[in-house]
């Protein structure tokens, strides 16, 4: 069956609010990835869809979901407390929908960072086996600082950082400096990729080839921690 045919629209309660979600589960699923979107685009963005489709081909189910500001049609992200609460609600829903699957969490850019902040909190993210960041946003463009990564030392599960060498939100030297101090961190560097994982034409690589690298790295890492 085509993996797209296994998509299920769901609703996730976040306190008194509700947000949309999409459970994309292939028949041969062996893992569930609760996948948050970045600041500027929702769960249906073409990158998010491509990640979900390709992961499904590798037997990895995904649960994508909206943050409340996107659900309401806004553009300005919610306060961190509400973003983190949404992450926790989505992870809890993932466990409810697929209790037999091991679960990892994370997401694109801001979504990954909010997941890590939720995981670093006192209550963590329950029985979450690991975190995967698709372009961790360590700093604003042009600002060489690492304070956004200070909380990562409090995360108590394995972490995989998928980082491009041309990412303007995570200087490679800085992100590797931060992760070198984290015994549970693994960094997978994608040569030539920017924050959106696009590579220049002169690289000779296609978007599909980059996506294959992303999916294979996630699957290989996940099998190693389960």
Of all residues in the chain, the percent with pLDDT exceeding 90 is 93
pLDDT tens digits, 32-45? 999 999 999 999 99
* CA-atom Rg of the chain in angstroms: 16
Which pLDDT belongs to residue 5?
A: 55
Q: Is the sign of the CA dihedral 164, 170, 73, 83 positive or negative?
A: positive
Three-class SS state of 196: coil
* Residue 122 banded pLDDT, cuts 50, 70, 90: confident
Who's near 47: CB < 8 A, 6+ residues apart?
A: 41, 108, 196, 197
pLDDT digits 0-9 by tens, 200-219: 989 889 999 999 999 999 99
Of the chain, the end-to-end C-alpha distance in Å amounts to 26
Task: Find out whether 170 and 197 touch, Cβ atoms under 8 Å.
Answer: no
Percent of the chain residues topping a pLDDT of 70: 98
Mean pLDDT value across residues 171-195:
97
What is the Cα–Cα distance from 190 to 109, expressed in whole angstroms?
Answer: 15
Is 142 within 8 Å of 170 (Cβ atoms)?
no
Structure confidence at residue 142 (pLDDT): 87
Predicted confidence (pLDDT) at residue 111 exceeds the cutoff of 90: yes
Given pLDDT bands bounded at 50, 70 and 90, which one contains residue 1?
A: very low
pTM of the entire predicted model: 0.95
């Amino acid at each position: 069956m085509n993996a797209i045919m296994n998509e299920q629209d769901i609703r996730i309660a976040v306190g008194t609010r509700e947000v949309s979600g999409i459970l994309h589960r292939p028949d041969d699923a062996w893992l569930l990835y609760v996948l948050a979107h970045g600041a500027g685009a929702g769960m249906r963005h073409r990158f998010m869809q491509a990640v979900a489709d390709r992961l499904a081909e590798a037997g990895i189910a995904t649960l994508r979901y909206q943050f409340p500001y996107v659900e309401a049609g806004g553009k300005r992200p919610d306060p961190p407390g509400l973003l983190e609460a949404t992450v926790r609600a989505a992870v809890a829903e993932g466990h409810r929908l697929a209790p037999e699957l091991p679960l990892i969490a994370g997401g694109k850019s801001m979504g990954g960072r909010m997941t890590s902040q939720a995981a670093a909190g006192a209550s963590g993210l329950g029985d979450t086996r690991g975190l995967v960041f698709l372009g961790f946003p360590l700093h604003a463009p042009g600002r060489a600082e690492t304070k956004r990564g200070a909380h990562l030392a409090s995360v108590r599960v394995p972490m995989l950082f998928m980082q491009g060498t041309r990412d303007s939100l995570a200087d490679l030297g800085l992100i590797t400096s931060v992760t070198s101090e984290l015994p549970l961190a693994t960094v997978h560097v994608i040569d030539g990729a920017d924050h959106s994982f696009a590579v220049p034409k002169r690289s000779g690589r296609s978007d599909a080839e980059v996506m294959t690298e992303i999916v294979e790295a996630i699957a290989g890492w996940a099998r190693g921690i389960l």
